[in-house]
Copies of this chain bind each other. A is one copy, B any other.
């Protein structure tokens, strides 16, 4: 299936480089090395287990990180959005088991060839500082999610997820994605959603859910927050 990633050339490439310049993230001239690539929905940006030759910086779109376990179970580890890096592990480590990354919408990224830029990147203070910040946030988020996932029932985590992903007061994530992400069975996710509806927190409208009582959801979600909190 779809492995027809498109590389923008000429004017289109130039346009992206200008409108979404990332030159301030580097202290050397990065532009000439960048390939501007577009991945279609469901296309794999990185195949699980295959070492990528590029460092990616996401310009627009979104993607998901997956890992497959030996028993065949597939787990959605995280979402990737604009301004995230992909493939930084391969830049930093000789040996690394690469996770799978799949675009969940049309996704445009800047691809920086490691074989030409690795040394430059690893000598670049501006870039390293930027990457360090990115990784520290990533590590913190993961740590939070980890302890939350273990410490609280789905009720709380789902309330948080709904509030975070709602479009206005409409929640419309796909159930299959959500139960992967929250690590629960489809059956149980539906069960809790029905409860939310019965309690009047949500109201089902066809395929979507309307948020009726955001305060109640906030009350459930706030339990996950630690002490003072900084938003993010």
Contact = CB atoms under 8 A, between A and B. Distances in A.
A142 B226 CA distance: 18
Interface size class of A (residues with CB under 8 A): 35 or more
A140 interface: yes
A68 interface: yes
B128 A68 contact: no
A200 interface: no
Interface in A116-155: 122-125, 128-129, 131-133, 135-140, 142-147, 149-151
Interface stretch (A89-97, A170-178, A189-197, A208-216): A89-97
A228 interface: yes
A48 B230 contact: no
Nearest to A137: B93
A226 B92 contact: no
Contact of A146 (B95, B136, B149): B149
Contact of A70 (B69, B71, B226): B226
Interface of A: 48-49, 65, 67-71, 73, 75, 77-78, 88-89, 92-93, 95-97, 99, 122-125, 128-129, 131-133, 135-140, 142-147, 149-151, 182-184, 222-230
